[in-house]
Structure 1
Amino acid sequence: MAVKFILSDYVEQATAQAVYDKLEDGTFAGKIPACKGVIAFGSTLRECEDELRSTLEDWILLGLKLGHSLPVINNIDLNKEPTLESMDTL
């Protein structure tokens, strides 16, 4: 049986939609259009990618804590109430 990590999958799918721009000063800016307010900057593309991922993770956790509606990305819906399964299924 394959193990699924929904939060990890969500982060991976969202970062795959990231858009990056090289700025006039040679630094980079990145954003994820589906996730309003998720933007990051870095002196290199790699640094910008890492910062964007971290920003996205914080944005998701804060959104969940505050009960905000998060965008559904590639059919991954983090807005659903979690269901508990019995310990017998483990």
Structure 2
Amino acid sequence: MSVNYILSQYIESAMSMATYDKLEDGTFVARIPSCKGVIAFASTLRECDRQLREILEEWILVGLKLGHTLPIINNIDLNKEPIREPVDTL
């Protein structure tokens, strides 16, 4: 049985939209255009990708905590108010 979490799906979808460039000094820059401010710099492509994921995760958590409107990515809308069920129904 496989469990899919909406936050994981959102992160994977956003990461699939990432763009990578090699700079003149041989380092790399990565960004996710739909997620303003999510950008990473590193000396290797692998490290740049890792840092971009980490920055994206933090950006999402801060955005949710502060009530920022996050972009809808791949029809995943994290802006919807969560539905809470009473504990006794579990």
CA distance in 1, matches of 2:89, 2:31: 39
Provide the aligned C-alpha RMSD in A.
1.6
Q: 1:45, 1:88 → 2: CA distance? A: 49
Task: Give the TM-score, by structure 1 length.
Answer: 0.92
Question: What pairs up with 1:19-30 in 2 under 5 angstroms?
Answer: 19-30=19-30
Report the count of equivalent residues.
90
Structure 1 segments unaligned to the other structure (5+ residues): none
Q: Give the partner amino acid of 2:76.
A: I
Q: Percent identity at matched positions?
A: 69
Alpha-carbon deviation of 1:3? 2.6
Partner of residue 67, structure 2: 67
CA–CA distance in 2 between the matches of 1:66 and 1:15? 22
Shift of 1:8: 0.6
1:26-45 correspondence to structure 2 within 5 Å: 26-45=26-45
Unmatched segments (≥5 aa) in structure 2:
none
Shift of 1:85: 3.5
The separation in 2 between residues aligned to 1:66 and 1:55, in whole angstroms, is 16
Once the two structures are TM-superposed, the CA of residue 59 in structure 1 deviates from its matched residue by: 0.3
Q: Return the alpha-carbon distance in structure 1 between the equivalents of residues 3 and 58 of structure 2.
A: 24
